[in-house]
Amino acid sequence: MSEPNKVQAHWAETQRLTYIMLGIWAFFSFFIHMFAPALNGIKILGFPLGFYMAAQGSLIVFVAQLFWFSGAQDKVDRKYGMAEDD
């Protein structure tokens, strides 16, 4: 792949990864909590599920997502020779 193509492909894949991340973020920040009243009918260890998702569930997703993202973006950088040590 020529250098300009690599630059373009790297940015396209970076964008794609970012949009996936923002999709997950939007789902666990907003979408799922719109159903909190219904989810509260389900109980796990005493936690109503709607409450649990806002108090812990979404947070756990955010943390896991960011560790995954930092690994995945690094892979993208390396794939196109765009990482810092390339």
Binding site for other proteins (CB under 8 A): 7, 10-11, 14, 18, 21-22, 24-25, 28-30, 33-34, 36-37, 40, 43-48, 50-52, 54-56, 58-60, 62-63, 65-67, 69-70, 73-74, 77, 81-84, 86
- Name 79's Cβ contacts closer than 8 Å, sequence gap at least 6: 10, 13
In the complex, minimum distance from the CB of residue 40 to other proteins, in angstroms, rounded to a whole number: 6
Question: Alpha carbon of 72 to those of 4, 17, 50, 51, 76: distances in Å?
Answer: 22, 8, 30, 31, 6
Longest dimension (CA), the chain: 58
> Do residues 29 and 42 lie in contact, with contact meaning Cβ atoms separated by under 8 Å?
no
Comparing CB distances to other proteins, the nearer of 1 and 37 is 37
In the complex, minimum distance from the CB of residue 39 to other proteins, in angstroms, rounded to a whole number: 9
In the complex, minimum distance from the CB of residue 82 to other proteins, in angstroms, rounded to a whole number: 4
